[in-house]
Structure 1
Amino acid sequence: MTLGERLRAIYPGTPGRRLKQWLAGARVRVNGAVVFRGDVTVGPDDRVELGSPPPAGFPAPLRLVHEDDHLVVVDKPAGLLTIATETERERTAYRLLGDWVRARGGGRIFVVHRLDRETSGLLVFARSLAVKQALQAQFRGRTPERVYVARVEGVVRGPEGTLTGSLVEDRALRVRLARDGGRGKEAITRYRVLERARGATVLELVLVTGRRGQLRAQLAALGHPIVGDRAYGSRRDPLRRVCLHATRLGFVHPSGRRVVFESPPPAGFRRA
């Protein structure tokens, strides 16, 4: 009898492809020794064992920043959705991280907040419904620290300032500032100049409110669209991405202590 035949007898109904994966993954041992080939002959007294699968590797598009029993913080790349849409359900930060957590026996994760597909940076996911609700209550109360870095077109003159206004959605569902004091959702952002270069400025942006598309719409209305943000009028795209990064995220942990996580912006922001 071959090893493959013995495995089929021990695990009836297992697809051949799965058996090959077990062998290739060094999970099959005969008398304590790893065997990679299914055509090896085994006798009735030979001990055949199937080992545990190796720990699931962390999904490459994401970077693990922090993990504990209550939450997971990751660094999301630009170009990756936070959660599914009608046109993309598989490749999202939520799906990739959720699959990894479940593969390690960790159960469900819960979305607390989102970043636009075009934005990179820090995201926190809860590991229970209670933690999700507690964190979202903080976001509603505007207590978390949410700091972004952006490279914008043009030279921003003042060293710092505050952007205020009301946001509405147009017919294409794009967020923009309401005209002439029109009604909409209040949006407040504080900014500080980090660096000026010829034709561009690097800004630190602190969210007071956290509306969808807030930073992109407000900066475009200011006359300084984010570099690479063609949807909001940018004329340059040297990095082939929107130059907006969620660099710092702070909130009260379920344990009661305040925590702050940081992710440096891409080096290209200062050269783009």
Structure 2
Amino acid sequence: MKRLERMIIDEGTEGIRIDAWLSERLEGFSRTYIQKLLEDGLIKVNDKRVKVNYRLRADDSIEISVPEPERLDVRPEKIRLDVVYEDGDIIIINKEKGMVVHPAAGNHTGTLVNALMDYCGDSLSDINGIIRPGIVHRIDKDTSGVLVVAKNNNAHERLSERLKDHDIKRVYAAVVEGVIKEDSGKIDAPIGRHPVERKKMSVNTKNGRRAVTYFKVLERFRDTTYVELTLETGRTHQIRVHMSYIGYPLVGDMVYGKKKQKYGICGQMLHARVLGFIHPIKNEYMEFEARLPGYFEELLQSLRV
């Protein structure tokens, strides 16, 4: 563990956010990386952990501990990728269902990152370290659809800022259990770690972060509903948690939905259909759409019979 010397704040710096102030003064440290250090408790003010939006005060003492780079053996693998769009700064991938986005415990191979490392070589941002090169945002293993990958740190940082500002359009298609009566609606309920089952998320009014999902009914069936879902925020498992919370869990979702699935679907029926944002370098609005995968269309056809 490398320890940087303490920094003492003078009066002229009062009121500035700690992440913004440090990113200007620490060469080679992006604001995104500094925010991660703050969240991990590796940056302390007056020997105490602070949030990323902490505003500095005169005579504050800042201490920064930087961990040694992780030494994991993440290797390139030749895995077919459905590339929707690519330029010198970003790649838009239509991820297939069943693919994990980045290596983690139990999934060191066969991930999107392994495929990207083979496809892009060294042309991926390194802000998120060696196990998540280029990864700006994630979608779950059993969720299919579009996501954006950054080829360099400049593009990565700008896309990350737009995500935090809710300035990226993300529209999903899903099939849920039950028949929704309302044609549309808004779910505004904070999401945090489940108080008992720590591997799950839940609506958590005490420790959760604000989460907003909009839904629109596209088609109603006998005991299910085909819906369009738009994210305002992007919390872990947000759509799955929110739809379960209002009584309409996703078909196939064994974690937040029914344990017995009568349609023979393994994994939630959720597809990231539309992704729209201002290009981080060209500064032009771009929008991408991934058609519903075959298994999704087949279920819809069977429900219409």
Q: Same fold (TM over 0.5)?
A: yes
1:107 corresponds to: 123
Report how far residue 58 of structure 1 moved: 7.4
Q: One-letter code of the match for 2:102?
A: I
Identity %, equivalent residues:
30
Deviation sequence 1:75-122 (CA, Å, 0-9, x none): 1111111111121111111221221111xxx63351110011121111
Query: Within 2, Cα distance between the matches of 1:71 and 1:184?
Result: 31
User: Does structure 2 retain, via aligned residues, the 8 Å contact 1:202–1:269?
Assistant: no
Query: Within 1, Cα distance between the matches of 2:200 and 2:241?
Result: 9
**Is 1:239 the equivalent of 2:265?**
yes
**Is 1:248 the equivalent of 2:274?**
yes
1:70 corresponds to: 89
Deviation sequence 1:187-235 (CA, Å, 0-9, x none): 1001100011110001100000100011001101111110000111224
Normalising to structure 2: TM-score of the pair?
Answer: 0.66
**Is 1:259 the equivalent of 2:286?**
yes
1:199 corresponds to: 223
2:166 corresponds to: 142
Query: Within 1, Cα distance between the matches of 2:284 and 2:221?
Result: 39
Report how far residue 164 of structure 1 moved: 1.1
Report how far residue 269 of structure 1 moved: 4.4
Rg larger in 1 or in 2? Answer: 1
1:173 corresponds to: 199
Query: Within 2, Cα distance between the matches of 1:108 and 1:230?
Result: 34
Q: CA 1:190/1:138 → structure 2, altered by over 3 Å: closer, same or farther?
A: same
2:7 corresponds to: none
Q: Where do 5+ consecutive residues of structure 2 fail to align?
A: 1-76, 126-133
Query: Within 2, Cα distance between the matches of 1:255 and 1:232?
Result: 40
User: Does structure 2 retain, via aligned residues, the 8 Å contact 1:239–1:268?
Assistant: no
Classify the secondary structure of the residue corresponding to 1:201.
strand
Query: Within 2, Cα distance between the matches of 1:212 and 1:75?
Result: 19
User: Does structure 2 retain, via aligned residues, the 8 Å contact 1:243–1:269?
Assistant: no
Query: Within 1, Cα distance between the matches of 2:264 and 2:192?
Result: 29
Name segments (4+ residues, structure 1) moved above 6 Å: none
Normalising to structure 1: TM-score of the pair?
Answer: 0.74
Q: One-letter code of the match for 1:268?
A: E
Q: Where do 5+ consecutive residues of structure 1 fail to align?
A: 1-56
Q: One-letter code of the match for 1:196?
A: R
Query: Within 1, Cα distance between the matches of 2:218 and 2:95?
Result: 23
User: Does structure 2 retain, via aligned residues, the 8 Å contact 1:220–1:232?
Assistant: yes
